[in-house]
Structure formats: C-alpha cells, structure tokens
Amino acid sequence: MAQKHVGDVLARFESAGFSVVGCKMMRLTPELLREHYAHVADKPFYPEIENFMSSLPVICMALQGDDIVAKVRDLLGPTDSKKAAKGTIRGDYGTDMMTNVVHASDSDENAKLELVRFFKPEELFTA
C-alpha cells in the first residue's frame, strides 16, 4: 500500500491466469494478527510484525486457479525480499524480510483457514 503497487501486484496475478474471487481493503487488528501469526506470536520479533502489518490498511485477495498455492508462491519469490529474484513480486517490490509486499498461504490447508479468517462466505465469488 505504501509503495502504491496494488495495481501492479493484482495485474501480475491476473496475467498469471489466476481469477480474483475475493478482494477487499481492511485494517488488521491486533487480535486478528495474533490469530494469523499464532505460530510466532511468542517470539521476540512478533511486535515488529504486528506494528508493520497494522500500520496501513491491507488488500486481502482470494485467488483461484490450478495448483494455486504453489504457483502463487513461485510468483512471489522467497519471504525475504533481499533473496528474491528480480521478476518475482517480492524481488521487484519488496525491501527486506518484513517489508515483503505480499503474504501468501503456504499450503492448501492454511489457505482454507486463511480464507475463513479474512473473508465472510458472501465475500467470495467462486466459480
């Protein structure tokens, strides 16, 4: 949001052949962030995550496509933007481990949980 790459990121997903089946802007609350990052919420670096993720509104997107989790993760590049190749979203727009532009689910199971966490059923328009 801060770098104004929302349209660029959305265009990359669409160019890759994914369908956008949910999209909204929201501000992440501390409660939602603690739920989402429960696996690291007790780590010393967690307050930095919460501060960054709640500093601006975010765009939440639900994408649909074949082998979507693996393909999105390939398109994004590694979590640490400094290690991401140019041509990936994080390699082109991210700056470091924290400011990596986009979060993506790491498994089909987590994708299902995250869809429920961030979207109401009536906010998803699947084919």
Is 103 known to be catalytic?
A: yes
Q: CB-hemisphere CA count at 13 Å for 88? A: 22
User: Cβ distance 17 to 65 under 8 Å?
Assistant: yes
- From 5, 36, 39, 103, the catalytic residue: 103
Q: Is the dihedral of CA 50, 51, 57, 63 positive or negative?
A: negative
All residues at 6 or more sequence positions from 102 whose CB lies less than 8 Å from its CB, including other chains: 9, 76, 89, 90
Catalytic residue list: 103
